Structure formats: structure tokens, C-alpha cells
């Protein structure tokens, strides 16, 4: 399972990248706004900076919601760097845009996927990735992980080439369960990734090793 980091924050991207486990980055308009990035020029610069930092796929989301607008924006985004994957929302014009981009060799990430039906349509249109949002389903009382399990089953039967990019990750358990369920990729903020590192017995064990070494060596 690949690890993408879900942020537009360069420090977080750098830190995760230095851990040596990062295979790509996803961003969205909310994450860009959180970093204070305003306007197309600043957004494009940030995407380029991210591409220069990370060796992997970098998702950049279109703002337009109509077919022509998405095509125009997506082609511009794809021209920034060959690592760019154009992120397109799961709406009717988004589906048409994914089909169009697939036809001209631009890779896509279909975002805001919340049901198996939406996922199947995105696969049929040729999306490179689909992003089912686990945390946001949990937030409204649905079992987000169950969607990942269901999609893994569908993908195994159908043999889709599209990759399941589990998104809206809120905690380390989400990541572990995605690995169990067979997600191809998870995208997570830095905190749940760092939380995977932690175990109290590791800290206690290390403290004891160092104390014993100190006793023996003075």
C-alpha cells in the first residue's frame, strides 16, 4: 500500500518525505486555503514546489464544476509538471472530464467518492485513482471503512485498473484497516502517520536499554 500525505504544508511534506515512506501528495482547495494560498499563480507555484520535493504523484484539484472549465484548468495543471494528477469531483461533468483526460493521457483522481456506485462510474470513465472519504462517512454515522472493504471486493471481481486511494483519514487505525482491506493507497495528514510510530513498550524498552547501558558503562 502506498502512502500519500494529504496536505499543502511544505514542512509537513518535507518531514514525511524524510521518513522515507511517502509516495505522493494530495491537496484540495480547503488544504490550499489553510496554507493561505490565494489565486492561480500562487497555487501553481505551490504545486511546483511540492513536485520538486516529492518523487511521486501530486494531486491538484480543479475549481471549475463545468466540463469546459474543468478541461481548461486540468490541462493547465497537468502542464505544471508530469507528476501532477488532476483531481476532479464526482459529478456528471466531472465524469465527462475524467473520460476526456483519460483519452489524452492526463491522469486523474476522482474525489468526493462516497458510494460503490460512484466508484464504479469513475473506474468506467478511466480514473487513475478514486478517493473514497472514510472520515466524512464516519462523521455522519456511516462506517467509512466498510466502503473500502466493499470497493476492494468489487475491484477484485472486476479487475479495474483504477487504484483505491483511501482519503479523509483521521487516525492510525484507519490506515491499518485500509492495509487489511487492500486499499492501493492511503492519503493522510502527518499526525496519523506519526501516530503509527508510537508504542509505549518501545519507549519503556528503550529507556531500560539505555539505563542498563549506563549502569554497565558508568
Which residues bind to ligand E4P, rule: CB under 6 A? 6, 26, 28, 111, 131, 133, 135-136, 167-168, 187
CB of 80 to ligand E4P, least distance (A): 18
The residue among 111 and 163 lying less far from ligand E4P, judged by its C-beta, is 111
**DSSP labels, 34-66:** HTT--SHHHHHHHHHHHHHH-SSEEEEE----S
Measure CA of the first residue to CA of the last residue in the chain; give whole Å.
45
- Cβ nearer to ligand E4P, comparing 101 with 133: 133
Q: C-beta of 12: minimal distance to ligand E4P in Å?
A: 13
Q: Which is nearer to ligand E4P, 5 or 123 (CB)?
A: 5
**Other residues' Cβ atoms within 10 Å of the Cβ of residue 121:** 19
Q: Which is nearer to ligand E4P, 116 or 189 (CB)?
A: 189
For 141, residues 6+ apart whose C-beta sits below 8 A from its C-beta are: none
Task: Please write down the long-range contacts of 39-46, taking CB distance under 8 Å and 24 or more positions apart.
Answer: 44/76, 44/77, 44/80, 46/8, 46/10
87 labelled catalytic:
yes
CB of 139 to ligand E4P, least distance (A): 8
- Of the listed 87, 99, 198, 208, which one is catalytic? 87
Rounded to whole angstroms, the Cα distance separating 216 from 187 reads 45
Q: How far is it, in rounded angstroms, from Cα 130 to Cα 118?
A: 9
Active-site annotation, residues: 87
Amino acid at each position: 500500500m502506498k502512502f500519500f500525505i494529504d496536505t499543502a504544508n511544505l514542512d509537513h511534506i518535507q518531514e514525511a518525505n524524510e521518513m522515507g515512506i511517502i509516495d505522493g501528495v494530495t491537496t484540495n482547495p480547503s488544504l490550499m486555503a489553510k496554507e493561505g494560498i490565494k489565486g492561480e499563480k500562487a497555487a501553481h507555484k505551490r504545486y511546483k514546489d511540492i513536485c520538486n520535493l516529492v518523487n511521486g504523484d501530486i494531486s491538484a484539484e480543479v475549481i471549475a464544476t463545468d466540463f469546459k472549465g474543468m478541461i481548461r484548468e486540468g490541462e493547465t495543471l497537468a502542464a505544471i509538471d508530469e507528476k501532477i494528477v488532476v483531481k476532479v469531483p464526482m459529478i456528471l461533468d466531472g465524469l465527462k472530464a475524467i473520460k476526456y483526460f483519460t483519452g489524452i493521457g492526463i491522469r486523474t483522481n476522482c474525489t468526493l467518492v462516497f458510494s460503490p456506485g460512484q466508484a464504479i462510474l469513475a473506474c468506467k470513465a478511466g480514473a487513475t485513482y478514486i478517493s473514497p472519504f472514510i472520515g466524512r462517512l464516519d462523521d455522519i454515522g456511516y462506517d467509512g471503512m466498510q466502503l473500502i472493504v466493499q470497493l476492494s471486493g468489487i475491484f477484485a471481481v472486476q479487475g479495474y485498473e483504477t487504484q483505491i486511494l483511501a482519503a479523509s483519514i483521521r487516525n492510525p487505525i484507519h490506515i491499518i484497516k485500509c492495509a487489511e482491506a487492500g486499499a492501493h493507497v492511503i492519503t493522510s495528514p502527518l499526525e496519523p502517520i506519526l501516530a503509527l510510530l508510537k508504542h509505549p513498550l518501545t519507549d519503556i524498552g528503550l529507556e531500560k536499554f539505555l539505563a542498563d547501558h549506563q549502569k554497565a558503562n558508568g
